[in-house]
A and B are shown apart, each in its own frame.
Chain A
Amino acid sequence: MARISIKDLQKTFGAHRAVDGISLEIRDGEFLIIVGPSGCGKTTTLNMISGLERPTGGQIVIGDTLVNDLEPGERGLGMVFQDLALFPHMTVFENIAFGLRVKKMPDAEVRRRVAAAAAAVHIEALLEKFPRQCSGGESQRVALARTIVTDPSVFLMDEPLSSLDAKLRVDMRTELKSLHHRLGATFVYVTHDQAEAMTMADRIVVMSKGRIEQVGSPLDIYNRPATRFVAGFFGMPTMNFVEGAVVASGDRRSFRADDVEHPLPAAVPAALAGREAVLGVRSEHVLVGDGASLKGVAQLSEPLGDTTLVHFDIGKGRRLVAKVGPTAAIEPGEALTFQFAAEFCHLFDVHNGARLY
């Protein structure tokens, strides 16, 4: 069983609370990605699961064993590091075999298992080479093979793709996901790249300042962000935010920010009326032109090929971004009209960023 249960986990470095009491259930066989900006405590959390860091407080249970006091090697985990950590003085074969040699496995068995692990990530031809002779992608595979070979029930990965170039990174994402399917093991993966998290994860844990902001499936997190932080962290370009207040007239509710007023869906609770709030709308839900009533002035247009991003000003220095069709020709300085797709509007608390609707 490779279920990991984390209860009230804490880690402090001096006065700095790197991980501030998080609780999390990681299911057997799932691909869980912990994502957040640098310094949010995600790597520290991973290191505590692996045993490289000792928790200041809380519990980590892997399977049915409390592992707080177990050595890293006794936890039955495999880990791929950000810098890969291949041993430069050993051949690829010896790198992969290291974990088996440490366990004093017979030579024939070592050969058989190294060959199998190398085949799993297609690096049979590299076995006699040294890490310095391998390309970035090859080194990546060697690091994976070295982890696979010990047959761990849990794989921990600390930004393993960050050293690769953009194209290779996308290829490796696909490969990691299929590897996860084949092995059926639990993957716990740390990254600051929201695109990696969206594409690979079964579930995503979003962390900020040592705390968990939200846990959920990628689409859950994208469509119903629990906080303003999560809403802003996911999605390219960043979600548009407008500060203002919820106003009610009759049984209709709308959002007002100075001169801008926009209707909200009927499902917005009446209790929110009169409350200050932040309206969040993704760029693809900002509809430009055709019957829209709100006015703006285009500032910049960024063609991406399949879509075009239009940055426009709505007065008082407030800027919004809209995703429009690739054929829409909007020149900087041009006046435009827009509206929001009301059913995709999010409301967040002005102060703590919690989701209101």
Chain B
Amino acid sequence: MKTAASAMSPEQARVRRIRRERRNRIVRHAVLLAWTGFIAFPIYWMVMTSFKDSGEWVTWPPHWVPHAPTLHNYAQIFAFSSIDPSLSRQAAEQAFTIWKGLGDSLLVCTTAALLALLLGTFLAYSISRFNVGGKYFRHTILTIRMIPPIVIAISILIYYAILIPYATGAVFGARISMFDTYIGLILIYTVTTLPFVIWMMLTFIDEVPYTLEHAARLMGAGRFTVIRRVVLPLVASGMVVTFLFVFILNWAEFLLALTLTHPEVTTLTVLLNKFQSASEGRLYGPQAAIGTMITIPVVVLGILIQKHLVKGFSFGTIRR
């Protein structure tokens, strides 16, 4: 029995195929465009709001672009201008903390990312070269990331705020709390991002041929020299990518920072939340301005990563 397709002339079949491909392409792009709009709209709205004066924050019908664009919100969060007398004392104090939030975020995120990178690279090396933990250890490590942060947040809080102070008080006679400290937040960020670092660095280190290390060792280099002079230079671009990736994760982290700090250590994401719950009404303008400022480094780093990813993943250029 002849099928419908075989009954068609080759020319008809060709025209049909071209039409089908064109239709698929249009549908695909329509879906992607709609999704992009859906994702980008809140960012668009945030950026627009950051340039609106207080009268325009909530209007109906909405102002898609500011009718009277102003840099007032930015001046306020960076405290370039004198404080708006219309703001209450509490709101004014909050408005000043952008610098503190920025400083805290940079300090915590950078230190945690560097620490995770350092530990993760050596761990990945040992897993790649000595099969530490057995055959499936590399997969086991990733499962740690399946635990939602909310599950560990409370137990870590109990550790930081109760168990550790109690334990140090009993042993050393001085209560040392990890709650609301830089070290506390840096440690938890290091721990939560370590699986990513190990996983990413594994892919890069696996690419470095064993024989390069063998050659170096035969020439008298010790293990550490081999790592420093041969392995690390070859995975350097991978380390940059990994660092940026982890930095962005930390930068955008909210839940653990909210749970484990207050009021001393204030990262930007936590600061943003404070604006929202301010008792003095909602300061949408400055909030949007801070939101925009938080987003800019992520976008910039994202673009940088893209450039390095190409280099990182075209790693097979090593002559085998």
Q: Which A residues lie at the B interface, using CB under 8 A?
A: 50-52, 71-74, 77-79, 81-89, 98-99, 102-103, 131-132, 139, 146, 150
Shortest Cβ distance from A159 into chain B, in angstroms? Answer: 12
Closest to B234 in A: A89
- Could you say which residues of chain A place their CB within 8 Å of the CB of B37? none
Q: Which of A73, A81, A89 contacts B222 (CB 8 A)?
A: A73
Shortest Cβ distance from B228 into chain A, in angstroms? Answer: 11
In the complex, the answer to whether B216 meets A98 with C-beta atoms within 8 Å is: yes
Q: Which of A72, A82, A89, A139 contacts B218 (CB 8 A)?
A: A72
B16 on the A face (CB < 8 A): no
- Could you say which residues of chain A place their CB within 8 Å of the CB of B133? none
Q: Chain B 224-245, CB within 8 Å of chain A: the 1/0 string?
A: 0100011001100000000000
- Could you say which residues of chain B place their CB within 8 Å of the CB of A78? 218
- What CA separation (Å) do A166 and B211 show in the bound complex? 24
Q: Which B residues lie at the A interface, using CB under 8 A?
A: 209, 211-212, 214-222, 225, 229-230, 233-234, 317-320
Q: Which of B209, B220, B317 contacts A73 (CB 8 A)?
A: B220
Q: Which of B218, B317, B318, B319 contacts A77 (CB 8 A)?
A: B218
In the complex, the answer to whether B234 meets A102 with C-beta atoms within 8 Å is: no
- Could you say which residues of chain A place their CB within 8 Å of the CB of B234? 88-89
Closest to A103 in B: B220
Shortest Cβ distance from A275 into chain B, in angstroms? Answer: 49
In the complex, the answer to whether B219 meets A150 with C-beta atoms within 8 Å is: yes
Closest to B230 in A: A87
- Could you say which residues of chain A place their CB within 8 Å of the CB of B221? 73, 98, 102
- What CA separation (Å) do A146 and B214 show in the bound complex? 14
Shortest Cβ distance from A87 into chain B, in angstroms? Answer: 6
In the complex, the answer to whether B317 meets A88 with C-beta atoms within 8 Å is: yes
Q: Which of A85, A102, A150 contacts B211 (CB 8 A)?
A: A85
What are 5 A-B contacts with C-beta separation under 8 Å?
A71-B222, A85-B214, A88-B234, A98-B219, A102-B219
Q: Contacts A78-B218, A102-B219, A131-B319 known; list 11 others, CB within 8 Å.
A: A51-B218, A71-B217, A73-B217, A73-B222, A79-B218, A81-B211, A88-B234, A98-B229, A102-B216, A103-B220, A146-B219
Shortest Cβ distance from A106 into chain B, in angstroms? Answer: 16
- What CA separation (Å) do A72 and B218 show in the bound complex? 5
Closest to A134 in B: B319
Shortest Cβ distance from A124 into chain B, in angstroms? Answer: 21
Q: Which of B220, B233, B318, B320 contacts A99 (CB 8 A)?
A: B220
- Could you say which residues of chain B place their CB within 8 Å of the CB of A85? 209, 211-212, 214-215
Shortest Cβ distance from B316 into chain A, in angstroms? Answer: 11
- Could you say which residues of chain A place their CB within 8 Å of the CB of B225? 102
- What CA separation (Å) do A87 and B222 show in the bound complex? 16
- What CA separation (Å) do A89 and B235 show in the bound complex? 10
Shortest Cβ distance from A235 into chain B, in angstroms? Answer: 32
- What CA separation (Å) do A98 and B212 show in the bound complex? 12
Shortest Cβ distance from A116 into chain B, in angstroms? Answer: 17
Shortest Cβ distance from A43 into chain B, in angstroms? Answer: 11
In the complex, the answer to whether A72 meets B214 with C-beta atoms within 8 Å is: yes
- Could you say which residues of chain A place their CB within 8 Å of the CB of B218? 50-52, 72-73, 77-79
In the complex, the answer to whether B215 meets A102 with C-beta atoms within 8 Å is: no
In the complex, the answer to whether A132 meets B212 with C-beta atoms within 8 Å is: no
- What CA separation (Å) do A52 and B214 show in the bound complex? 7
- What CA separation (Å) do A131 and B317 show in the bound complex? 11
**Given A89-B233, A89-B234, A132-B317, A83 contacting B219 (CB threshold 8 A):** no
Q: Which of A51, A88, A103 contacts B319 (CB 8 A)?
A: A88
